Chains A and B, each alone.
Chain A
């Protein structure tokens, strides 16, 4: 009797889990290091959605789950739940981040320059099948050094636009800047309309595929935004804290982060350009551009039904979406039985089989008692 066994439910799940692991390689430190080295962008996607900057743990989650992205994110989030909060770091300013990729589609050139940085954007997408035949991949030629090193940090394109009065004036919101006052979407229940902090946090840890699908719909015309990338950055941000006793600031480390701004004059909301924004831990350009587009769509007075804050933030939550989706595999036979009772009544009324009206199904002839 399948999976609602009279006994041995625990044994069944234990075996099921073992079967899963038997079909893949072992979880070893070596495997974790390989993932970390060879698939940093996948690691970044997991730690971004896991909302925990711990590349090693993200790589471990990937190896442990056999590469199942949703399982990996769940592992990381569950781990995150157990970690105590020690303190808040100092806010990061974009202009001071060590930025190694920085482009704007709005202008041919910008103060500081268009910096391509590491990117496959202009590569030819050809599979290196010779690797599978045992041919070693020639090490990629080293990057040639330029005469002048690129600057470490860059001003904001948006600042130039502000100075030139191109941006719509937004009334100053009373958003808290003291870190301990900032609403935390992982600690507070989310209610709509969401505070700005909740929205940006939700976008930062949103499921990439979901954000892409909805953002793409906006770009294709279901929304109001014709997005132009105002500025996209991949950076290493320095994490700074303030010593609780001496008050001295000190560096705690450095982490990969990325952000994008979309600019558009479309939709309502004033004369001039508006900005949409998304930032995330790790480098994930697809999520940034789609997310920034959605940020703008959600600001419309009457967004497309698929671009309301409610729709976007609820349905791009990786752990909730995937969890609920697969929960439909759980037994639902009681719910189904209850529904069947109602449907039977309706069917009986519509197509009466007997003149006596609705009767419950006849018990089977054999009513031999089955021992447990």
Chain B
């Protein structure tokens, strides 16, 4: 009788790849993140068969929540069929037997890199965002121990100073994606590199958002019905990207976040980034139905008065 004979076969995996301890720790950390909206919770990020920087944080969150009853949607830059999204989706289904979909309305779990879908998510859905850098204070403080102290002390003066300087130098805020937000009036949080267009979707949302950074080993959460405001001065409002007049070449619609595709003659064409939404619009006569969107056809946000 050898040790080898007593052990499980080398090829065995737990359900959803992560072992029970890993899942338990992740779930507890997620609960803590929900209890402290916007606060970064360190966790022991496991190595996965996918390279760091490629979504292992989001993946761990998804794998710790998933069950065979779930339907999962995976997108990257808004596209279901991006190679990275396809790869992650392949891994998730291999490990969990969950169903997959490209239809936002059908998904119970949505794992996304850098976009929030255009259709409004409900209380029955969980959004998991992949985060490269969880620390919004990094631009003013590169030492992680010091930035932790700054969060603890609500010592955010320098972040506001950065905005002041931008207004003095450029006349406007220049942060593109990853625009920092104040969550529950307590913590400054990075919403992950979603465009400014998607920031408002976190405010008083019906759904739970989990943000997870595998390489940096931090996760944080925005529970449903939580206040999330972009950092802005009272007299200089935050603005989303200016895409007015851009028409999607595939659907003819406007006022949804678009990709700009450079053309050989120097001009640009545009297409809606949310490919799941696009494919539903194109098949409008055949099912499935499209849901209400955060920004309506005229570009008004569904929470009145939130965007000035």
Question: A369 and B53 in contact (CB under 8 A), knowing A4-B81, A338-B241, A364-B267?
Answer: no
Distance in angstroms from B28 CB to nearest chain A CB is 12
In the assembled complex, A21 has its CB within 8 A of some CB on chain B: no
Contact assessment for B195 and A334 in the assembled complex, using a CB-CB cutoff below 8 Å: yes
Contact assessment for A338 and B196 in the assembled complex, using a CB-CB cutoff below 8 Å: yes
In the assembled complex, A77 has its CB within 8 A of some CB on chain B: yes
List chain A residues, Cβ under 8 A from B17.
81-82
Distance in angstroms from B186 CB to nearest chain A CB is 21
Which of A314, A327, A334, A341 contacts B53, CB < 8 Å? A327
Task: Give per-residue flags for B71-87: 1 if the beta carbon is below 8 A from chain A beta carbons, else 0.
Answer: 00000111101111111
Which of A9-17, A29-37, A98-106, A133-141 binds B?
Answer: A9-17
Contact assessment for B217 and A331 in the assembled complex, using a CB-CB cutoff below 8 Å: no
CB nearest neighbor in B for A337 = B260
In the assembled complex, A108 has its CB within 8 A of some CB on chain B: no
CB nearest neighbor in A for B251 = A369
Contact assessment for B176 and A361 in the assembled complex, using a CB-CB cutoff below 8 Å: no
Contact assessment for A9 and B81 in the assembled complex, using a CB-CB cutoff below 8 Å: yes
Which of B19, B21, B51, B173 contacts A327, CB < 8 Å? B51
Contact assessment for A369 and B252 in the assembled complex, using a CB-CB cutoff below 8 Å: yes
CB nearest neighbor in A for B192 = A335
Distance in angstroms from A194 CB to nearest chain B CB is 10
In the assembled complex, A257 has its CB within 8 A of some CB on chain B: no
Task: Give per-residue flags for A337-372: 1 if the beta carbon is below 8 A from chain B beta carbons, else 0.
Answer: 111111101100100000000101111111111111
In the assembled complex, A187 has its CB within 8 A of some CB on chain B: yes
Which of A149-157, A171-179, A293-301, A316-324 binds B?
Answer: A316-324
A337-B17 Cα distance, complex, nearest whole Å = 35
Contact assessment for A330 and B250 in the assembled complex, using a CB-CB cutoff below 8 Å: no
Contact assessment for B176 and A335 in the assembled complex, using a CB-CB cutoff below 8 Å: yes
A319-B48 Cα distance, complex, nearest whole Å = 10
Contact assessment for B51 and A10 in the assembled complex, using a CB-CB cutoff below 8 Å: no
Which of B87, B148, B244, B259 contacts A334, CB < 8 Å? B259
Question: A333 and B77 in contact (CB under 8 A), knowing A339-B176, A363-B268?
Answer: yes
B191-227, CB < 8 A from A: 193-197, 215, 217-218
Contact assessment for B170 and A346 in the assembled complex, using a CB-CB cutoff below 8 Å: yes
Contact assessment for B47 and A338 in the assembled complex, using a CB-CB cutoff below 8 Å: no
Which of B38-46, B121-129, B150-158 binds A?
Answer: B38-46
Contact assessment for B19 and A82 in the assembled complex, using a CB-CB cutoff below 8 Å: yes
In the assembled complex, B106 has its CB within 8 A of some CB on chain A: no
A335-B194 Cα distance, complex, nearest whole Å = 7
Which of B8, B114, B217, B250 contacts A189, CB < 8 Å? B217
Distance in angstroms from A249 CB to nearest chain B CB is 16
Query: Which range contains the number of B residues in contact with the other chain?
Result: 35 or more
Contact assessment for A370 and B250 in the assembled complex, using a CB-CB cutoff below 8 Å: yes
In the assembled complex, B143 has its CB within 8 A of some CB on chain A: yes
Contact assessment for A369 and B250 in the assembled complex, using a CB-CB cutoff below 8 Å: yes
Which of A10, A13, A341 contacts B176, CB < 8 Å? A341
In the assembled complex, A188 has its CB within 8 A of some CB on chain B: yes
Contact assessment for A331 and B76 in the assembled complex, using a CB-CB cutoff below 8 Å: yes
In the assembled complex, A170 has its CB within 8 A of some CB on chain B: no
List chain B residues, Cβ under 8 A from A92.
none
A58-B282 Cα distance, complex, nearest whole Å = 50
In the assembled complex, A325 has its CB within 8 A of some CB on chain B: yes
Which of A7, A346, A364, A370 contacts B263, CB < 8 Å? A364
A324-B215 Cα distance, complex, nearest whole Å = 8
Question: A341 and B8 in contact (CB under 8 A), knowing A82-B19, A363-B269?
Answer: no
CB nearest neighbor in B for A319 = B52
In the assembled complex, A22 has its CB within 8 A of some CB on chain B: no
In the assembled complex, A310 has its CB within 8 A of some CB on chain B: yes
Contact assessment for A335 and B282 in the assembled complex, using a CB-CB cutoff below 8 Å: no
In the assembled complex, A39 has its CB within 8 A of some CB on chain B: no
In the assembled complex, B164 has its CB within 8 A of some CB on chain A: no
Contact assessment for B250 and A81 in the assembled complex, using a CB-CB cutoff below 8 Å: no
Contact assessment for B252 and A12 in the assembled complex, using a CB-CB cutoff below 8 Å: no
By CB atoms of chain A within 10 A, which of B47, B56, B78, B87 has the most?
Answer: B47
Distance in angstroms from A354 CB to nearest chain B CB is 14
Contact assessment for B267 and A365 in the assembled complex, using a CB-CB cutoff below 8 Å: yes
Which of A186, A192, A323, A324 contacts B44, CB < 8 Å? A186
Which of B53, B84, B193, B197 contacts A325, CB < 8 Å? B53
In the assembled complex, B140 has its CB within 8 A of some CB on chain A: no
Question: A360 and B54 in contact (CB under 8 A), knowing A4-B83, A339-B177?
Answer: no
- In the A-B complex, the 9 residue pairs with the smallest Cβ-Cβ separation, listed nearest first, are A323-B52, A327-B53, A189-B42, A339-B176, A324-B53, A9-B86, A338-B176, A323-B51, A338-B195
List A residues at the B interface (Cβ < 8 Å).
3-10, 12-13, 74-75, 77-78, 80-82, 84, 86, 186-193, 252, 308, 310, 314, 319-320, 322-327, 330-335, 337-343, 345-346, 349, 358, 360-372
